[in-house]
Chain A
């Protein structure tokens, strides 16, 4: 194993443009027009010395180290800012240039600490490298003059330090914050000799607007900005490329290692999803993998009143099998089931659903995607023919109009959010449809053309009204519709959508959005050039989640915004492998590849491959499992990597269901809330220990490579294989590559996928077929997966969860940047510094009416439960709507959410709960009884 060191070409590549041939140091070089001399030289293997240039930032020309001589031109221009020209003759090395560069380095080093041997960047410092490259042997100016060596360090950020004494003011950090991250938190303060990097207006990093994405740290050529983990451990000796296990962006990282210790995670420049960028979670919040709360040994107990007993793997698996069999003997084959996890790999998910279908003998398998993106699966399959986003992330670089609905990319999908902001800064226009004023509505150098601040639950009315404008104002792309869509379905939809009841003027009553705003947004979407829709759980987690997905698909088809770069309909997936867990056959009605269990041909294919009969009937969905458990007909559940007691709605209902089970098996990193009801606990592995693949929101299959050994001694897919075998269904694989090979054999869209192909290509976007061996970045280019696109009628039906005198406000929930889902991982990292508790955001008007001041403890009560948390008065919220996150079990936001769910998929309606808010002077019962995260006494502790 070696360190992976990517080549830094100094300036960005130009991928198009007329080829230009020039001569550099006597060598003929041909590059696209617009390429810098520095880049052209680097591509020819000639590395020009540099400090302020790096190839993920625009050239800046400040360090004066990259100067070259160009025949016929005066002086020594900076090669980073000088574009190539035909016939140009460049010299990058001669005595004059060497003398000049040495002089520049002398000046830098005269105001730089000479502590290289004890510096954390020792061995990986560009300043040190350049001093060596230019042959610096003395500093004629001495070190006694005015300098910056006594500047105090800023150690406020939990993950990195800022040591201005080592700063050479190259501005790479400032430019990374602006150009790549788009936060503009850093600036160069003062001028001349006093110039220094400053977060905000003289604040510390922690107090500034810095979002801790790490772009500045990565860009720094010295030890000025340095990871605390590197300061603690030293430089890594090898690195492994793997995939982040947080959100659905699926960033590639280099895990930089010392033996089996992770020194740091560095975003991989060649990562297809992130192209070298990261967020605070992926970059820094990986410490949970070695947190002391991890349970590393299997445990069992007879009843939940008993203490856990650490046992051998053999005993744990035998116990699980015995209890599951006992349930089936008493209550029947369909009395058990399982839930797969979107945090686990494709291979791990695949074997769980296979175990349930083949060894349990039932289709009672569901996945946590049930509670997030199941409406995406239904809606996009009905209209386009398959359950997947249509674009790659890169596509947004060609988008002219961006419609963001029910998503908060800067918090939930921050690396893509940065890319989106970059495109907006470059001129794309933005429509935001969201009850909250999310950051995208207005942030530095980004401002939405339209913020449609609709009432929660009225997405369908809004999208129908936009479609109404498009149809009635003659903005339909009729050529596209005629060529690509079903004529009958379009005619029916056109007639429906043109009805006056779908007009913006009528929709204004239900959405609260002025009709003129809806009309203007619709015209912009239809006529502004390439228009792309990006959406999140603010679309899906409603009683009309599936209808909203279909309404977006209708909009895209009606305007011809599908099937090419820059357009499309794109779900921003919440968890790292939502797409993959759905692809792998986790839904109770579908086998891998989204094929219905009632399809005899498909079922026969799997029966022959798996050697077991398969049930032709759909199984229970998660909410149905809970209902059946309470009803007494569902008694055994296997839960893979999911804390349903915290994440699913109406906690009292969920815990009643879990408490009614005779056998609950939990496979997880931690003894989570669900494990409190478990009888068998299988310790899981973190992403740093896994070997397999994740599939991100753009259908990109990325390799997940083990960087440390399994701390539990057993891979999760082996546990499942051994449990299946113990149940009487022999399941055996030697490697995870074999599992992927089986997936590829049985799933047409994965036909060309293998670990070997992934290692060669870096990543592949499905479908990967004989016709598309390199994958499919843009879907539906030549035709829809289902043949012709199908317009669907999208009647607006208001949710029954409505405000009343007793519950006059609407609560909507979401996530914030520093935390992830139920917080099981991020709460066990220093990310709690940013968000130590869940907060209720409330409009000033609603707060004043209730006598609530900023920071007050308030009670949030709904028709099903109540909790308490602190209030923050926020002008992000419109009157009548409050917001909170669900990252902390002590708050238990889902105590108040209800059983209401999407009509087609039963995806819970997390986004609309009628509540009342009152001042409170004490924590809720839940908080009072909630001990620390590990609250079950175990022999393992």
Chain B
């Protein structure tokens, strides 16, 4: 679908924007943004990358992976 590096870059940019929020809110907002704006195949590819170790991903994205998976 897309190169993992592009998905990582995009997800990390989103996480970086919300990183200054209180942690729980930052996770919710990061995952909510991905949920609202990313096409399902992109979300699945991101989850596949997380399943493969999630190398390079912002910790907010990793922390929210289960929530994203539940909605994916």
CB-contacts of B19-52 with A (<8 A) = 19-21, 33, 36-42
Chain B residue with Cβ nearest A364: B39
Q: Given A627-B2, A631-B2, A631-B3, do A795 and B20 touch, yes or no (CB 8 Å)? A: yes
Report B63 CB to chain A, min CB distance, Å: 18
Chain B residues with Cβ under 8 A from A29's Cβ? none
Q: Which of B10, B20, B39 contacts A618 (CB 8 A)?
A: B39
A906–B17 contact, CB under 8 A? no
Chain B residues with Cβ under 8 A from A628's Cβ? 1-2, 41
Report A620 CB to chain B, min CB distance, Å: 5
Chain B residues with Cβ under 8 A from A899's Cβ? 6
Chain A, residues 203-222, CB within 8 Å of chain B (1/0): the string is 00000000000000000000
Q: Which of B6, B13, B16, B40 contacts A617 (CB 8 A)?
A: B40
Report B49 CB to chain A, min CB distance, Å: 14
| B8 interfacial contact with A, CB 8 Å | no
Chain A residues with Cβ under 8 A from B36's Cβ? 589, 596, 598, 618
Cα A363 to Cα B2 in complex, Å, equals 18
| A624 interfacial contact with B, CB 8 Å | yes
Cα A658 to Cα B18 in complex, Å, equals 34
| B14 interfacial contact with A, CB 8 Å | yes
A903–B17 contact, CB under 8 A? yes
Main secondary structure of the interface of A (DSSP, over half): loop
Cα A626 to Cα B58 in complex, Å, equals 25
Q: Which of A543, A627, A906 contacts B3 (CB 8 A)?
A: A627
Of residues A363, A588, A624, A905, which shows the largest number of chain B Cβ atoms within 10 Å of its Cβ? A624
Chain B residues with Cβ under 8 A from A797's Cβ? 13, 16-17
**How many chain-A residues does the 8 Å CB contact rule pick out?**
29
Q: Given A627-B6, A631-B1, A631-B3, do A904 and B17 touch, yes or no (CB 8 Å)? A: yes
Chain B residues with Cβ under 8 A from A624's Cβ? 2, 39, 42
Report A259 CB to chain B, min CB distance, Å: 50
Report A594 CB to chain B, min CB distance, Å: 13
Chain A, residues 124-148, CB within 8 Å of chain B (1/0): the string is 0000000000000000000000000
A795–B17 contact, CB under 8 A? yes
Cα A363 to Cα B6 in complex, Å, equals 21
Report B32 CB to chain A, min CB distance, Å: 11
Chain B residue with Cβ nearest A906: B10
Chain A residue with Cβ nearest B38: A618
| A487 interfacial contact with B, CB 8 Å | no
Q: Which of A496, A619, A793, A904 contacts B39 (CB 8 A)?
A: A619
Chain B residues with Cβ under 8 A from A618's Cβ? 36-39
Report A531 CB to chain B, min CB distance, Å: 27
A903–B37 contact, CB under 8 A? no
| A334 interfacial contact with B, CB 8 Å | yes
Report A50 CB to chain B, min CB distance, Å: 60
Chain A residue with Cβ nearest B21: A793
| A633 interfacial contact with B, CB 8 Å | yes
Chain A, residues 582-605, CB within 8 Å of chain B (1/0): the string is 000000110000001010000000
Chain A residues with Cβ under 8 A from B42's Cβ? 620, 624
Cα A547 to Cα B33 in complex, Å, equals 14
Q: Which of A363, A588, A589, A904 contacts B14 (CB 8 A)?
A: A904
Chain B residues with Cβ under 8 A from A795's Cβ? 16-17, 19-20
Cα A637 to Cα B33 in complex, Å, equals 26
Chain A residues with Cβ under 8 A from B3's Cβ? 627, 631
Chain B residue with Cβ nearest A795: B20
Chain B residue with Cβ nearest A628: B1
Chain A residues with Cβ under 8 A from B13's Cβ? 543, 797, 903
Report A542 CB to chain B, min CB distance, Å: 12
Report B41 CB to chain A, min CB distance, Å: 7
CB-contacts of A343-372 with B (<8 A) = 363-364
Q: Given A631-B2, A631-B3, do A903 and B16 touch, yes or no (CB 8 Å)? A: yes
Chain B residue with Cβ nearest A900: B9
A633–B41 contact, CB under 8 A? yes
Chain B residues with Cβ under 8 A from A364's Cβ? 39
Report A634 CB to chain B, min CB distance, Å: 9
Chain B residue with Cβ nearest A633: B1
Chain B residue with Cβ nearest A546: B17
Cα A598 to Cα B36 in complex, Å, equals 8
Cα A618 to Cα B33 in complex, Å, equals 11
CB-contacts of A402-458 with B (<8 A) = none
Chain A residues with Cβ under 8 A from B17's Cβ? 547, 795, 797, 903-904
Chain A, residues 317-356, CB within 8 Å of chain B (1/0): the string is 0000000000000000010000000000000000000000
Chain B residues with Cβ under 8 A from A633's Cβ? 1, 41
Chain B residues with Cβ under 8 A from A621's Cβ? 37
Chain A residues with Cβ under 8 A from B1's Cβ? 627-628, 631, 633
Chain B residue with Cβ nearest A800: B9
Chain A, residues 617-643, CB within 8 Å of chain B (1/0): the string is 111110010011001010000000000
Q: Given A543-B13, A627-B3, A795-B19, do A334 and B38 touch, yes or no (CB 8 Å)? A: no
Q: Which of B2, B6, B37, B41 contacts A589 (CB 8 A)?
A: B37
Which residues of A are in contact with B by a Cβ distance under 8 Å?
A: 334, 363-364, 496, 543, 547, 588-589, 596, 598, 617-621, 624, 627-628, 631, 633, 793, 795, 797, 899, 901, 903-906
Which residues of B are in contact with A by a Cβ distance under 8 Å?
A: 1-3, 6, 10, 13-14, 16-17, 19-21, 33, 36-42
Complex A-B: 5 CB contacts under 8 Å: A364-B39, A598-B36, A633-B41, A793-B20, A793-B21
* Apart from A334-B39, A620-B42, A904-B37, 17 more pairs, CB < 8 Å: A364-B39, A543-B13, A617-B40, A619-B39, A620-B39, A624-B2, A624-B39, A624-B42, A628-B1, A631-B1, A631-B3, A633-B1, A797-B13, A899-B6, A903-B10, A903-B17, A905-B37
Which 3 residue pairs spanning A and B have beta carbons closest together? A903-B13, A627-B2, A795-B20
